[in-house]
């Protein structure tokens, strides 16, 4: 059976990984605010909208990267996933998308970096949005795959 036909795969994606990705993305988006010029805005509603918009976008990017990684790795049902391959592909795809998206949005002046943003010279994009797609998916994945004592006790 392939992952797309496996109810456990979908439960993991929809009810474990993506909610945790949403929470960790929200935390990251708030933490990196001072690295963007938006932080200098006196309008809290604009900042709040940007954080919500970006966090939701992160979930879409993360879902797309995970689904693509599952397809590319020809993943079987959840219990037999090649986890390391899936995570590496997922992070690589998200990084590639983010590098391209940052370049496009900077060129279109949809956002701008503050002076505090470290820039990756050969890409001319900020380090924080790239690091986000290494740190956030790893944290969300680890959190989603942890077994709590409550879950373990009730699986029997």
CA dihedral (28, 54, 134, 83) in degrees, to 10, reads 110
List the one residue out of 117, 99, 81, 91 whose CA is nearest residue 6. Answer: 81
In the chain, domain spans: 3-147
CB 63 within 8 A of CB 13: yes
**pLDDT by residue (tens digit) across 84-96?**
999 999 999 999 9
**pLDDT by residue (tens digit) across 100-111?**
999 999 999 999
User: Angle between the 18-31 and 44-72 helix axes, to the nearest 10 degrees?
Assistant: 140
Look at residue 153 in the predicted model and tell me its pLDDT: 47
Look at residue 23 in the predicted model and tell me its pLDDT: 98
**pLDDT by residue (tens digit) across 9-19?**
999 999 999 99
pLDDT band at 148 (very low <50, low <70, confident <90, very high): low
């Amino acid at each position: 059976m392939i992952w797309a036909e496996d109810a456990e795969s979908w439960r993991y994606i929809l009810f474990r990984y993506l909610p945790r990705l949403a929470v960790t993305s929200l935390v990251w988006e708030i933490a990196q605010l001072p690295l963007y010029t938006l932080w200098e805005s006196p309008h809290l509603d604009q900042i709040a909208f940007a954080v919500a918009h970006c966090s939701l976008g992160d979930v879409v990017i993360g879902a797309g990267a995970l689904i693509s990684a599952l397809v590319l790795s020809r993943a079987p049902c959840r219990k037999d996933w090649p986890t390391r391959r899936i995570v590496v592909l997922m992070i690589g795809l998200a990084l590639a998308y983010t590098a391209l998206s940052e370049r496009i949005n900077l060129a279109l002046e949809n956002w701008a970096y503050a002076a505090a943003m470290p820039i990756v010279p050969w890409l001319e994009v900020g380090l924080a949005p790239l690091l986000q797609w290494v740190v956030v998916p790893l944290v969300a994945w680890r959190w989603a795959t942890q077994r709590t004592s409550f879950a373990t006790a009730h699986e029997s």
